[in-house]
């Protein structure tokens, strides 16, 4: 009896958050069908779905998603990788910090998107420009958080490691890196969010393939359903990246009470 | 299975041999001075400790106890003076020294058993075997694969103890390891440390703020004041020492009194003189002291007079405190 009621409660708890979105979607669909909303302004949800199915069937959709994702991830790998490397170096070695940090902090103040005109001048409007912008955007959040992560490792633990004979790389692997990991992952999550924003801007400016190309193309032909589909795809991809980062945190930080699944 | 057992026995006998070869380290500290910038923390400290002795170190906060231990552990270097372990410079035998800190300092990202295995070389299986053995000694064998964050403070300290023990230290430095524990857990841990010390016969230095802990564990109690040793008192009580026992309580209060007496002695509030007269009464007695600046009268308990008799004509140091005056010969 009581078991049944808790199950029901759980179900209700899982359903309630979805009530409002479903209601909005329904209202929207109805408004479009009745003719209150012009499909030129906002197509009904069903039309977006249909456009998605049609594009998926021809394979065009996957092609664009693939190009965009690859672009984003390549930029992320380059910028994030460099950020991690330099963050580890400046965090670990005073000399490198003295040599590099001031310069990096100055560059950090420039918003990557403000560089767009210059980047177009340098690389034209092809792939290089987009990768450069994404890398730059991703670089700093990984760099800063790695640097701070390394610096904020508990000195008491480092001293303990030393007194147990850990030196050099073994001290790094056992104490310093794991101690900095939580902060590094925070940087990675920020970077992933930033990665999509910059990707969208870069692709909207110009592209020969990718989700941005698809939506801009559709805009020319007033295919608002495809435009909306593109927007939704960006949202889904962004969410996926976030979920992936969270899973990574759960896995790597499972020792930490605040990350372990309760 | 057969092979397993034989190997295990070999490991055991190897450990047995090590134990015979490696009793405690003897320590000689000579004129040890440590400065941090302008501030001098240790002022020419001398200390001799025999192999296998258990020394309890007490002293006010900031007097340099941790500094002394860190120097012994090789975590810091002395400004001048020397430390000899078994007659050799401290660096030579650094690996035979292990330290236990006030906070357990376990790596939160390593399980209990991985924490114990830190800094050990050897095959995974052998390490695990040994780690489980020491975990068993501290009574936590069943928690081997848990995260440290799931343990209580006392359990964490026991893991830290196991982590130190697995290296078979010949000198174990304990810097207030039990300070953060409740009274019962603390007594339990004291017994554990004592029994392990008896078994392994390493030399032990325990810093504590708890006089009863010092009396319970120390062969000697050493008071550090202002970076010097001002009292070094042997505790000749049979082990194990029970906290409730009369002898123990008597000893504890005596040590406490000595500590307070010695602590009260500093140049600002003392005056040298010679006893001129002792007036004994049933409870309170009076001791008259002739000093350079006149006659001083000190009231003392008759009972303490009988415990520590004074003679007329003896050189004494009269010490003034806000609420009492004590005498030190
Ligand atoms: N790394 C350091 N730099 C500067 N001063 C230090 C350093 N370490 C210790 N000191 C100073 O040395 C003095 C002695 O410190 P120490 O930690 O040895 O005291 P302690 O006797 O262990 O005190 P407690 O009982 O509070 O632990 C203190 O005044 C402290 O401020
Ligand atoms: Mg201390």
Distance, in Å, from the CA atom of B42 to the CA atom of B51, rounded to the nearest integer, reads 24
3-state secondary structure B178-200: CCCCCHHHHHHHHHHHHHHHHHH
Considering the domain architecture, whether residues B306 and B168 belong to the same structural domain is answered as: no
Calculate the average pLDDT of chain B: 84
Considering the domain architecture, whether residues B281 and B149 belong to the same structural domain is answered as: no
Question: Would you call B167 and A164 a contact, using CB atoms and an 8 Å cutoff?
Answer: yes
The pair of structure tokens assigned to A244 is: 């992936």
Using a CB-CB cut-off of 8 Å, the residues of chain B touching A160 are 101, 105
Question: Quick check: A248 and A185 in contact, CB under 8 A?
Answer: yes
Nearest-CA distance from B327 to chain A in Å?
43
The pair of structure tokens assigned to B309 is: 């008799």
B156 close to A (CB below 8 A): no
Considering the domain architecture, whether residues A48 and A97 belong to the same structural domain is answered as: yes
Q: Is residue A183 part of a domain?
A: yes
B165 closest CA partner among B98, B92, B86: B98
The whole-angstrom distance between residue A208's C-alpha and the CA centroid of its chain comes to 22
Domain end marker among B263, B290, B315 = B263
A101 close to B (CB below 8 A): no
Q: Is residue B2 part of a domain?
A: no
Q: What is the pLDDT of residue A260?
A: 57
Question: Quick check: A165 and A139 in contact, CB under 8 A?
Answer: no
A174 close to B (CB below 8 A): yes
Q: Into how many domains does chain B fold?
A: 2
Domain end marker among B220, B240, B263 = B263
Question: Quick check: B42 and B227 in contact, CB under 8 A?
Answer: yes
Q: What is the pLDDT of residue A150?
A: 94
Q: Is residue B90 part of a domain?
A: yes
Q: Is residue B204 part of a domain?
A: yes
Considering the domain architecture, whether residues A208 and A184 belong to the same structural domain is answered as: yes
Kindly state the average pLDDT of the residues A45-60.
86
Q: What is the pLDDT of residue B161?
A: 93
Q: Note down the domain range covering A99.
A: 44-252
The pair of structure tokens assigned to B40 is: 């001098």
Distance, in Å, from the CA atom of B151 to the CA atom of B161, rounded to the nearest integer, reads 14
The pair of structure tokens assigned to B83 is: 């430390």
Most A-contacting residue of B119, B160, B175 (CB-CB within 10 A), to test interface: B119
Considering the domain architecture, whether residues A203 and A227 belong to the same structural domain is answered as: yes
Distance, in Å, from the CA atom of A21 to the CA atom of B304, rounded to the nearest integer, reads 85
Atom of ligand 1 nearest to the CA of B176: 27
Considering the domain architecture, whether residues A163 and A183 belong to the same structural domain is answered as: yes
* B204-251 confidence digits (pLDDT tens): 999 998 888 999 999 999 999 888 898 898 888 888 888 888 888 888
Considering the domain architecture, whether residues B297 and B222 belong to the same structural domain is answered as: no
Residue A195's CB is within 10 A of a number of other CB atoms, namely 26
- B274-281's contacts with Cβ under 8 Å and 24+ in sequence apart are B274/B313, B274/B314, B274/B315, B274/B316, B275/B310, B275/B311, B275/B312, B275/B313, B275/B314, B275/B316, B276/B312, B277/B312, B278/B305, B278/B310, B278/B312, B280/B305
The pair of structure tokens assigned to B77 is: 């270097």
Q: A252: Cβ–Cβ under 8 A, 6 or more apart, which residues?
A: A181, A185
Greater model confidence, B282 or B34: B34
CATH number for the domain harbouring residue B295? 2.40.50.100
Q: What is the pLDDT of residue B61?
A: 84
Q: Note down the domain range covering B139.
A: 19-263
Place of tokens 């480092």: A158
B85 closest CA partner among B95, B76, B77: B95
Residue B211's CB is within 10 A of a number of other CB atoms, namely 18
Question: Would you call A178 and B163 a contact, using CB atoms and an 8 Å cutoff?
Answer: no
Interface of A with B in 139-158 (CB under 8 A): 156-157
Considering the domain architecture, whether residues A99 and A189 belong to the same structural domain is answered as: yes
Q: What is the pLDDT of residue B320?
A: 67
The whole-angstrom distance between residue A124's C-alpha and the CA centroid of its chain comes to 25
Which 3 state secondary structure label does DSSP give B62?
A: coil
Q: What is the pLDDT of residue B146?
A: 92
Considering the domain architecture, whether residues B216 and B303 belong to the same structural domain is answered as: no
Q: Which ligand is nearest to the CA of B68?
A: 1
Considering the domain architecture, whether residues B142 and B249 belong to the same structural domain is answered as: yes
pTM: 0.75
Q: Is residue B113 part of a domain?
A: yes
Considering the domain architecture, whether residues A135 and A235 belong to the same structural domain is answered as: yes
Question: Would you call A163 and B98 a contact, using CB atoms and an 8 Å cutoff?
Answer: yes
Interface confidence (ipTM) of the complex: 0.76
Considering the domain architecture, whether residues A166 and A75 belong to the same structural domain is answered as: yes
Pocket around ligand 1 at a 6 A CB cut-off? B 36, 39, 41, 59, 61-67
Question: Would you call B103 and A256 a contact, using CB atoms and an 8 Å cutoff?
Answer: no
Write b or e for each residue in B217-237: b if 16 or more Cβ atoms lie within 10 A of its Cβ, otherwise e: bbbbbbbbbebbbbbebebeb
Most A-contacting residue of B67, B105, B149, B167 (CB-CB within 10 A), to test interface: B105
Nearest-CA distance from A255 to chain B in Å?
5
Distance, in Å, from the CA atom of B202 to the CA atom of B29, rounded to the nearest integer, reads 18
The closest CB to that of B105, out of A157, A178, A257, belongs to A157
Distance, in Å, from the CA atom of A131 to the CA atom of A135, rounded to the nearest integer, reads 6
Considering the domain architecture, whether residues B277 and B257 belong to the same structural domain is answered as: no
Q: Is residue A68 part of a domain?
A: yes
- pLDDT over 70, % of chain A: 96
Question: Would you call A159 and B107 a contact, using CB atoms and an 8 Å cutoff?
Answer: no
Q: Is residue B230 part of a domain?
A: yes
Q: DSSP for B204-223?
A: EEEE-S-HHHHHHH-SEEEE
Most B-contacting residue of A149, A156, A160, A182 (CB-CB within 10 A), to test interface: A160
Question: Would you call A160 and B105 a contact, using CB atoms and an 8 Å cutoff?
Answer: yes
* B159-204 confidence digits (pLDDT tens): 999 999 999 999 999 999 988 888 888 888 899 999 999 998 999 9
Interface of B with A in 95-154 (CB under 8 A): 95, 98-99, 101, 103, 105, 107-111, 118-119, 147-149
Distance, in Å, from the CA atom of A213 to the CA atom of A68, rounded to the nearest integer, reads 9
Question: Quick check: A195 and A185 in contact, CB under 8 A?
Answer: no
Q: Which of B41, B224, B229 to mutate to test the pocket of ligand 1 (most atoms within 8 A of CB)?
A: B41
Considering the domain architecture, whether residues B119 and B160 belong to the same structural domain is answered as: yes
Q: What is the pLDDT of residue B190?
A: 92
Q: Is the peptide bond before B240 cis (omega within 30 degrees of 0)?
A: yes
The closest CB to that of B109, out of A162, A163, A255, belongs to A255
* B273-328 confidence digits (pLDDT tens): 889 888 888 888 888 888 887 888 888 878 778 877 788 888 887 776 544 455 55
Question: Would you call A255 and B163 a contact, using CB atoms and an 8 Å cutoff?
Answer: no
Answer whether residue A157 shows pLDDT above 80: yes
B231 closest CA partner among B212, B206, B257: B257
The closest CB to that of A255, out of B73, B119, B147, belongs to B147
Using a CB-CB cut-off of 8 Å, the residues of chain A touching B148 are 255
Q: Is residue B292 part of a domain?
A: yes
The pair of structure tokens assigned to A83 is: 């950020």
């Amino acid at each position: 009896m009581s078991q049944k009621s808790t199950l029901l409660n759980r179900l209700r708890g899982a359903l309630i958050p979805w009530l409002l979105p479903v209601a909005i979607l329904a209202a929207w669909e109805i408004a479009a069908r009745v003719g209150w909303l012009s499909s030129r302004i906002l197509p009904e949800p069903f039309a977006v779905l249909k456009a998605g199915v049609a594009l998926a069937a021809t394979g065009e959709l996957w092609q664009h998603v693939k190009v965009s994702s690859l672009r984003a991830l390549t930029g992320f790998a380059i910028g994030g990788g460099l950020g991690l490397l330099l963050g580890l170096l400046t965090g670990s070695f005073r000399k490198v910090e003295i040599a590099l940090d001031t310069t990096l902090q100055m560059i950090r103040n420039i918003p990557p998107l403000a560089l767009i005109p210059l980047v177009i001048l340098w690389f034209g409007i092809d792939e290089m420009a987009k990768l450069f912008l994404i890398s730059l955007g991703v670089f700093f959040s990984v760099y800063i958080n790695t640097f701070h992560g390394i610096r904020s490792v508990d000195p008491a633990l480092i001293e303990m490691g030393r007194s147990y004979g850990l030196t050099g790389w073994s001290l790094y692997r056992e104490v310093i890196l794991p101690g900095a990991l939580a902060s590094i992952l925070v940087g990675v999550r920020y970077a992933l969010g930033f990665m999509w924003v910059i990707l969208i801007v870069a692709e909207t400016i110009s592209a020969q393939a990718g989700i941005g190309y698809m939506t801009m193309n559709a805009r020319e032909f007033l295919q608002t359903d495809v435009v909306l589909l593109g927007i939704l795809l960006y949202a889904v991809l962004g969410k996926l990246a976030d979920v992936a980062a969270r899973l990574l945190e759960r896995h790597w930080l499972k020792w930490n009470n605040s990350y372990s699944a309760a | 299975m057969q092979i397993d057992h034989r190997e295990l026995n070999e490991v055991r006998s190897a450990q047995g041999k090590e134990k015979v070869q490696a009793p405690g380290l003897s320590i000689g500290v000579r004129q040890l001075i440590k400065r941090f910038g302008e501030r001098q923390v240790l002022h020419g400290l001398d200390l001799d400790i025999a192999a296998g002795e258990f020394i309890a170190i007490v002293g006010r906060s900031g007097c340099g106890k941790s500094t002394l231990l860190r120097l012994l552990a090789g975590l810091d270097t002395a400004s001048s003076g020397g430390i000899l372990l078994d007659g050799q410079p401290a660096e030579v035998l650094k690996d035979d020294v292990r330290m236990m800190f006030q906070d357990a300092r376990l790596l939160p990202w390593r399980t209990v058993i991985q924490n114990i295995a830190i800094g050990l070389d050897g095959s995974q299986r052998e390490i695990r075997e040994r780690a489980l053995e020491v975990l068993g000694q501290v009574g936590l064998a069943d928690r081997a694969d848990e995260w440290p964050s799931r343990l209580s403070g006392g359990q964490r300290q026991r893991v830290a103890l196991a982590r130190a023990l697995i290296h078979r230290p010949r000198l174990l430095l304990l810097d207030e390891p039990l300070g953060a524990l409740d009274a019962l857990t603390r007594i339990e841990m004291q017994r554990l440390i004592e029994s392990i010390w008896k078994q392994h016969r390493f030399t032990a230095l325990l810093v504590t703020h708890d006089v009863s802990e010092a009396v319970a564990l120390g062969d000697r109690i050493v008071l550090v004041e202002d970076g010097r040793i001002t009292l070094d008192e042997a505790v000749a009580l049979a082990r194990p020492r029970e906290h409730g026992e009369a002898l123990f309580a008597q000893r504890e209060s005596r040590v406490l009194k000595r500590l307070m007496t010695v602590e009260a002695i500093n140049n600002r509030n003392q005056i040298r003189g010679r006893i001129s007269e002792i007036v004994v009464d049933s409870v309170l007695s009076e001791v008259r002291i002739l000093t350079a600046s006149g006659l001083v009268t000190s009231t003392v308990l008759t009972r303490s007079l009988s415990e520590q008799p004074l003679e007329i004509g003896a050189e004494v140091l009269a010490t003034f405190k806000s609420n009492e005056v004590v005498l030190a010969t």
